[in-house]
Amino acid sequence: MAPDGPPITRPISCKQCGATPAASVQIRSHLGLLLWMRCKAVDGPFCSHCGIALIRVMTTKTLWQGWWGPLSLLATLFALHSNLDAYRDLRRLPRSAPPSARARSGMGKPVHRRPPAYVALIPLCCAIWLLTSLIGSAS
Ligand SMILES: [Zn+2]
């Protein structure tokens, strides 16, 4: 017999550590190769700790591996923007502890403290050089 009354809603818990609260976010990475590309998406829910740790890893990979294909520019920008949205959602969650003695790994360094992330400056500098060359040759 089904109970009467409003349905019981439970807060969603992190799929990695079980902590609550968690947010349903999707975290992406992109690998651009000369002739093909590979997009990866990991669905939550994640607590702020586990989600931000995963965002740091996948965003750093995207920053140094995402640009190396002719069609990868848009896919890389999409992955980075999507991860920024997920990061904002996770930052709004209060800090939480895992519900039991489950151990969580550390969050790792922020993206700006990971040297591979700065590989993204190479295609950015090339794009700036190309644009300034086009503007210079047009005038
Ligand atoms: Zn977690």
Contact 86, 51 (CB under 8 A): yes
Q: How far is the CA of 47 from the centre of ligand 1 (A)?
A: 4
Question: Quick check: 50 pLDDT over 80?
Answer: yes
d(CA 19, CA 105): 14
Q: Output the CA 51–ligand 1 centroid distance in Å.
A: 7
Question: If DSSP codes are grouped into helix, strand and coil, which group holds residue 66?
Answer: coil
Mind listing the pLDDT tens digit for each residue in 66-108?
988 878 888 999 999 999 999 999 999 988 777 765 667 788 8
Cα–ligand 1 centroid distance for 39 (angstroms): 23
| 3-state secondary structure (DSSP) of residue 24 | coil
The CB density around residue 61, as the number of other CB atoms within 10 Å, is: 18
Residue 13 alpha carbon to ligand 1 centre in Å: 8
pLDDT at 16 over 70: yes
Q: Return mean pLDDT, the chain.
A: 88
- Give yes or no for residue 30 having a pLDDT over 70: yes
Separation of CA 121 and ligand 1 centre (Å): 32
User: Can you tell me the distance from the alpha carbon of 32 to that of 101, in angstroms, rounded to the nearest whole number?
Assistant: 39
**Helix axes of 48-65 and 72-91: crossing angle, nearest 10 degrees:** 160
Above 80 in pLDDT, residue 137? yes
Q: Rounded CA gap, 110 and 114, in Å? A: 7
Q: How many C-beta atoms surround the C-beta of residue 133 within 10 A? A: 10
C-alpha of residue 134 to centroid of ligand 1, in Å:
48
